[in-house]
Structure 1
Amino acid sequence: MANEPSELVIRNDKDGCAWLTLNRPDKLNSLTVGVFKELRGHILDLRADKNIHCIVLRGAGKCFSAGHDLGDIAEGEEVPSRGWHSETLRLMEKLPKPVIAAVHGHCYTGALEVALAADFIIAADNARFGDTHAKWALTPVWGMSQRLPRRVGIATAKRLMFTADMIGADEAVRIGLAEYAVPLDKFDAEVEALARRISENSVYSHAANKRLLDATDGRHLDAGLQWEVMESEGVGPDMKERIMTFTKKS
């Protein structure tokens, strides 16, 4: 495609955190097979990178992403396999490290499906979210029908999916889609501070906690409590060092 940037997803590492930036700003970071291929490559690399404790996914320019590139849909995409996009997002979701979706501006449909595959969403106050599958006579195959109701509840998910309404950051926070909203001029600093706080904590605990939460999501409480005890991964190799550092400061 003419005038495409050489990197569709840019990775920058800082202080134990990897920043992945969707990089089609002239196209509002709309999502193509090429974008997903690069995102998937970074995900696979990050799984084995012991120097990275946290990941932030964001968009370049005016927004996070306007969603799936409708031009690509109309022309017919060549995907490596059936369910490949969904599989890519599941690989991101199952990374043994916290993943933050930092959303400013547009976050529609396919972009929302990408953001929902992160552990949680932080929104700039200009963020706008929506699911427009029904507007274009499409149905979700990247995870919307599964992740959205788990995040906001079945009735709210139905409302958003049936109406194709756009909602702002405050409403996204109110319904539990985003964790909290930050003024746009303070957004980058807040996300960086949040990522730093996460990166300072135990990578062992992060990985174990993600596995625990994933394994027990939706289970009956007693079954989940039993799993927590019986399948406990115990303490990490840095436990004594962390406690000693704390006690020396006290």
Structure 2
Amino acid sequence: MSEALVLRHDAGGICTLTLNRPAQRNAINRELFREFRAHIRDIEADGSEIGLIVVTGAGGHFCAGHDLKQAPHADALGWLRQEMLILERLTKLPQPVIAKVRGSCYTGGLEFALSADFIVCDASARFADTHGKWGLVPGWGLSQRLPRRVGQAKALEMMLTCQPYTGEQAAAMGLANYCVADDELDAKVSELAALILGNSRHSNAENKRLVYDTDGMALGAGLNHELMRNAGFDPAMRKKGEPIGNAKKAD
């Protein structure tokens, strides 16, 4: 049997999904996307032991984008919609999602990373939207997610120039949450994961839901939504005022 195109590894409450076409810089073809979709469905169906998702790429790259060598699907628009919706389902998972980026994070790969809640990269990372070089337009959410993350002017700069940006530049513009030295990426993601997992999974999921559900709302509507759609206390709280999990009560 051929090796899986998306590898899954669960440990310590973390599910790591690794895009696994290193010889193609993890370029995304339909077979890889089908495997990724199956993993997302599995997590949705039975993810009670998972507190956090990490999406990364095998080898020295995150993802070079869509594999343009593959012929278009017979129902190109229908398949594109399926791809877009599965990335939206990744975003809507109750678990926080971290994109762990080394090397190329281009175009479709950038859209994958933007579907995560956090982007953590190292100095080798290069981010670019190259749709314009190929006469293409985004279909996996880049025109919506990129401006929300970096602002309209910077998003247009990235989209219209197609130039690459370093990891340091990505962090400076707010595209990446953190950029670290090449040999520190694993440790930084582990550090961030430990901080997240040390808090209530209930709170993490509900805070994430509230932020995304109210995106674009006027302040008054958002405040009302927060109050009326509030999920309340974590039932796992042992007693009022005592922290959850690994969190330590502040002095």
- Relative distance call for 1:139 and 1:226 in structure 2 (3 A) is same
Q: Displacement of 1:151 after TM fit?
A: 0.6
- Given that 2:73 and 2:79 are in contact with CA atoms closer than 8 Å, whether structure 1 keeps it comes out as no
Q: Displacement of 1:71 after TM fit?
A: 0.3
One-letter amino acid matched to 2:139: V
Distance 1:248 1:146 in 2: 38
Structure 2 equivalent of residue 238 of structure 1: 236
Matches for 1:72-221 after TM superposition, within 5 Å? 72=70, 75-77=71-73, 81-221=79-219
Mark the runs of 5 or more structure 1 residues left unpaired by the alignment: none
Q: Displacement of 1:6 after TM fit?
A: 1.6
One-letter amino acid matched to 2:232: G
- Given that 1:17 and 1:196 are in contact with CA atoms closer than 8 Å, whether structure 2 keeps it comes out as no
Distance 1:155 1:83 in 2: 27
Mark the runs of 5 or more structure 2 residues left unpaired by the alignment: none
Distance 2:170 2:248 in 1: 40
**Deviation digits for residues 88-131 of structure 1, max 9, x if unmatched?**
10010100110000111000000000000001101111100000
**Deviation digits for residues 38-81 of structure 1, max 9, x if unmatched?**
11111111123100000000000011011111101xx2235664
**Deviation digits for residues 149-188 of structure 1, max 9, x if unmatched?**
1111111111110000100011101111001101111111
DSSP 3-state at the match of 1:71: coil
Q: CA RMSD in A?
A: 2.0
Distance 1:21 1:82 in 2: 22
Structure 2 equivalent of residue 224 of structure 1: 222
Distance 2:212 2:227 in 1: 15
Distance 1:101 1:70 in 2: 23
Distance 1:69 1:28 in 2: 10
- Given that 1:36 and 1:88 are in contact with CA atoms closer than 8 Å, whether structure 2 keeps it comes out as no
Distance 1:244 1:100 in 2: 24
- Given that 1:15 and 1:196 are in contact with CA atoms closer than 8 Å, whether structure 2 keeps it comes out as no
TM-score (norm 2): 0.92
One-letter amino acid matched to 2:8: R
Distance 1:247 1:100 in 2: 23
Q: How many residues align?
A: 245
Distance 2:172 2:243 in 1: 40
- Relative distance call for 1:220 and 1:60 in structure 2 (3 A) is same
Distance 1:244 1:85 in 2: 39
Q: Displacement of 1:5 after TM fit?
A: 4.7
Q: Displacement of 1:249 after TM fit?
A: 11
TM-score (norm 1): 0.92
One-letter amino acid matched to 1:200: G
